[in-house]
Amino acid sequence: MKKQSPQIVPLPFMVYFACVAFLAVAGFLDSCYLAVSHYRVYTDVAYQSFCAVSKAVNCDTVSQSTYSIFLGIPVPVWGVIGYLFLLLLLPFALSKDARHQRMWSICFLLALGYCLYSVILAVISTFFIRSYCLMCVLSYGINFSLVYFSWLIRKRFDTGGIIKGLKLDFNFLWQHRRKSVPVFALTFGIGLLLLISIPSYWSFSAGLLSRDVPTGVTPEGYPWIGATTPEIEITEFTDYKCFQCKKMHFYLRQLIEKYPARIRLVHRHFPIDDQINPLVKEKFHVGSGTLALFAAYAQFEAKFWETNDLIYSLVGKEDEIDLKEAAKTIGLNYKVFSHAINDRNLQYKVKHDIARGIKLGINGTPAYVIDGEVHQGQIPAAIINRSFK
pLDDT tens figures, 332-343: 999 989 888 888
Average pLDDT over residues 338-351: 89
CA distance 310 to 35: 28
CA distance 136 to 262: 43
- 57 DSSP β-pair partners: 132
Average pLDDT over residues 78-103: 92
Least-confidence region, from 50-64, 66-80, 255-269: 50-64
Residue 209 reports pLDDT greater than 60: no
Contact indicator for 30, 77 with CB cutoff of 8 Å: no
Considering the domain delimited by 13-197, tell me its CATH architecture: Up-down Bundle (1.20)
pLDDT in tens, 30-52: 999 999 999 999 888 778 888 87
Least-confidence region, from 6-10, 43-47, 56-60, 318-322: 6-10
Residue (of 111, 140, 138, 109) closest to 123 by Cα position? 140
Check residue 318 and give its pLDDT.
Answer: 62
Instruction: Provide CB contacts within 8 A for 349, sequence distance 6+.
Output: 221, 269, 296, 299
Contact indicator for 211, 166 with CB cutoff of 8 Å: no
Report pTM. Answer: 0.81
Question: What number of H helices and E strands is found in the chain?
Answer: 14, 8
Contact indicator for 150, 114 with CB cutoff of 8 Å: no
Residue 205 or 258, more confident: 258
* Residue ranges per structural domain of the chain: 13-197, 215-387
Confidence of residue 208 (pLDDT cuts 50, 70, 90): very low
What CATH number labels 215-387?
Answer: 3.40.30.10
Q: Which one-letter amino acid corresponds to residue 84?
A: L
pLDDT in tens, 291-319: 999 999 999 999 999 999 899 988 876 66
Contact indicator for 73, 196 with CB cutoff of 8 Å: no
CA–CA distances in Å: residue 372 to residues 202, 235, 368: 33, 10, 10
H-assigned helices in 198-322: 243-258, 288-300, 304-314
